[in-house]
Amino acid sequence: MGLYHLAWEVLTIDDLVDVRAHLTEMGALVGESDHGVSKSLYAQDIDGIEFEVLWSVPREAWGDYEKNAVSQRLDLASEVARYGTRAAR
């Protein structure tokens, strides 16, 4: 059996935006998900191994997501407007 899951966590939602741009530029981005408590990007390396890059939502903002697992479409622009520091610039 091989590697099942590999993930990296970035410190800010703005970092996630930067990673998304880089992965898109490289043609490696294969998916995005909003898990309520985290925002995730999925990509593949040159060998086809899929990996995740995620940003964790501040715990005080989890609300019902703390007890309910979800996987929904990620609207990264809305999340940046809500949590990002660049939105304030």
Domain ranges of the chain: 7-79
Global pTM? 0.89
Which residues of the chain carry a pLDDT beneath 50?
Answer: 87-89
pLDDT at 47: 87
* Alpha-helix residue ranges (DSSP H) falling in the chain: 13-26, 76-83
Separation between Cα atoms, residue 3 and residue 40, nearest integer Å: 19
pLDDT at 69: 86
| High-pLDDT (> 90) share of the chain, % | 82
Backbone Cα Rg of the chain: 14
Residues 6+ apart with CB under 8 A from 22: none
Q: Which is the CATH superfamily of the domain at 7-79?
A: 2,3-Dihydroxybiphenyl 1,2-Dioxygenase, domain 1 (3.10.180.10)
- E strand intervals along the chain: 7-9, 29-34, 38-44, 50-56
pLDDT at 18: 97
pLDDT at 89: 40
pLDDT at 86: 67
